[in-house]
């Protein structure tokens, strides 16, 4: 699943092509992916109200997979229950639960509702036996504690758009999680993150865009898109002192193993 006719195969393991910045040009998004040898992408759900449009993309296009979940700081749309997530997550085009996790950056006050939402997603993932997509911002200690308490090791998953320390990465890896790097790894200011990226075992690596946000160098400040994951992979290769081919080979194999994604 890594080379087709001697061509590199890349996977954007986390994007939001259903967002308005990209949704009006899906055919163009897919064409540019193909040109950049990005053969697959995972479109990630951030609330239950918009999940149908995420699933519709994954149903229509074989290159696109879907997740189901509610972003940790989302306040629009219904609050998901385990039953809701399990029902929607049973679709074979849904390969993960999330994105979920904790985000204390913009939130204030009593954040127990975020922690309970996170537990709901973990319990749904365990019932579905599907991996989790975890978001963390300024909440790593609470996040890791809940992951341990809820036994996330049973399903594993990915720490998406990783920006934390090596200690956090190592703890997550120990619970059966991959570490996914976004365009941030290419930023001049991200030397510490590149040091972390160099230490992650190859079998625990993923690449992503988180598009339409966080475009990598040389497109920083522009609207991001899945085709740009090639630049993320190139930046990761530089950080690890290896080649684009090696990063593509590892991250693509890891994606299909972790998410058990099926292609026709």
Domain boundaries, the chain: 3-259
Residue 186 phi/psi, 5° resolution? -95, -5
3-state secondary structure of 10: strand
pLDDT tens string 98-123 = 999 999 998 778 999 999 999 999 99
pLDDT tens string 155-170 = 999 999 999 999 999 9
Q: Are 169 and 199 contacting, i.e. CB atoms less than 8 angstroms apart?
A: yes
C-alpha torsion sign, points 194, 224, 205, 89: positive
Single pTM value for the model: 0.96
- Identify which of 13, 216, 7, 188 has the alpha carbon closest to the alpha carbon of residue 96: 13
What are 107's two structure tokens?
A: 């939130």
Q: How far is the C-alpha of 140 from the C-alpha of 196, rounded, in Å?
A: 16
What are 258's two structure tokens?
A: 């972790």
Q: Which residues make beta-bridge pairs with 178?
A: 158
Confidence of residue 44 (pLDDT cuts 50, 70, 90): very high
CA 188 from centre of chain: 22
* Bridging pattern class, strands 157-159 and 205-207: unpaired
Q: How far is the C-alpha of 230 from the C-alpha of 76, rounded, in Å?
A: 33
- For domain 3-259, which CATH number applies: 3.40.50.720, 3.30.70.2470, 3.20.20.140, 3.30.70.20? 3.20.20.140
């Amino acid at each position: 699943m890594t080379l087709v006719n001697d061509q590199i195969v890349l996977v954007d393991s986390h994007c939001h092509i259903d967002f308005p910045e990209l949704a009006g040009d899906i055919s163009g998004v897919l064409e540019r992916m193909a040109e950049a040898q990005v053969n697959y992408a995972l479109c990630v759900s951030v609330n239950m109200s918009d999940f149908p449009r995420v699933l519709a993309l994954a149903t229509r296009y074989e290159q696109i997979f879907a997740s189901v979940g509610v972003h940790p700081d989302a306040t629009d749309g219904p609050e998901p229950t385990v039953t809701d997530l399990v029902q929607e997550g049973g679709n074979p085009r849904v390969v993960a639960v999330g994105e979920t996790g904790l985000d204390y950056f913009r939130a204030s006050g009593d954040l127990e509702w975020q922690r309970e939402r996170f537990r709901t997603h973990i319990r749904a993932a365990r019932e579905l036996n599907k991996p989790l997509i975890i978001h963390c911002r300024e909440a790593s200690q609470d996040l890791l504690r809940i992951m341990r308490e809820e036994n996330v090791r049973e399903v594993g998953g990915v720490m998406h758009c990783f920006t934390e320390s090596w200690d956090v990465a190592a703890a997550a890896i120990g619970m059966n999680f991959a570490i996914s790097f976004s365009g941030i790894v290419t930023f001049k200011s991200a030397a510490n993150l590149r040091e972390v990226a160099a230490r992650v075992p190859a079998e625990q690596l993923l690449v992503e865009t988180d598009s339409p946000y966080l475009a990598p160098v040389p497109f920083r400040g522009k609207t991001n898109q899945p085709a740009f994951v090639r630049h993320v992979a190139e930046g990761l290769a530089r950080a690890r002192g290896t080649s684009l081919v090696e990063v593509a080979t590892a991250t693509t194999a890891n994606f299909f193993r972790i998410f058990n994604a099926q292609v026709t």
